[in-house]
Amino acid sequence: MKDYDWAFWLGLAVVLGIVEVASLDLVFAMLAAGALAGAVTAAFTDSVALQAVVSMAVAIAMLFVVRPVAIRHLRTPLAIRTGVAALVGEHGLVLERVDAHNGRIKLKGEVWSARTYDPSHVIEAGSPIEVVQIDGATAIVYEAEI
């Protein structure tokens, strides 16, 4: 079996790679990299203990050093929003009663016309709101909880 230790490590790497494809969280990919390091070590030495230590060291390094960087690159933030798109999600204050047809709110220091997201809902003056979308020059809002 000593002559084929590398095959064991390579098979383990393949299995871990297949599991990674199913999970897509980059944990098993890092473990597979450790198994590949074990395979390379097995090609140069017969020491199973050394193979295991190298495999674990590489896997741990990959999990705690490489994985966070990879995740940051894969999950980049949404594109920077500008203009009225940047107002979506912002909080404001109702100046005049807002209903399904009209109303006024103060949003980022400016007065906007507004209407409710839910046509059956009415938001009274002084209530906090959150912008759901911007439709032309009208903010579509719902009452925010403080």
Reported as a pLDDT band with limits 50, 70 and 90, residue 74 is confident
**Tens of pLDDT, residues 101-121:** 999 999 989 999 999 999 999
CA distances from 24 to 10, 18, 30, 63, 74 (A): 20, 10, 11, 14, 11
Query: Taking CA 84 as the corner, what is the angle to CA 83 and CA 87, rounded to the nearest 5 degrees?
Result: 110
Cα atoms in the Cβ-side hemisphere of radius 13 Å centred on 21: 5
Please give the pLDDT value at position 81: 67
Note the Cα 114 to chain centre separation in Å: 31
**Tens of pLDDT, residues 15-62:** 999 999 999 889 999 999 999 999 999 999 999 999 999 999 999 999
Q: Which residues of 18-27 are buried (b: 16+ CB within 10 A; e: fewer)?
A: eebeeeeebb
Indicate whether this model's pTM tops 0.75.
Answer: no
User: How much of the chain, in percent, has pLDDT values that exceed 70?
Assistant: 94
Average pLDDT of the chain, as a whole number: 91
Q: Is the pLDDT of residue 75 over 80?
A: no
* CA–CA separation, 98 and 117 (whole Å): 10
Please give the pLDDT value at position 82: 72
| Domains of the chain with CATH codes | 2-74 (no CATH), 83-143 (2.40.50.140)
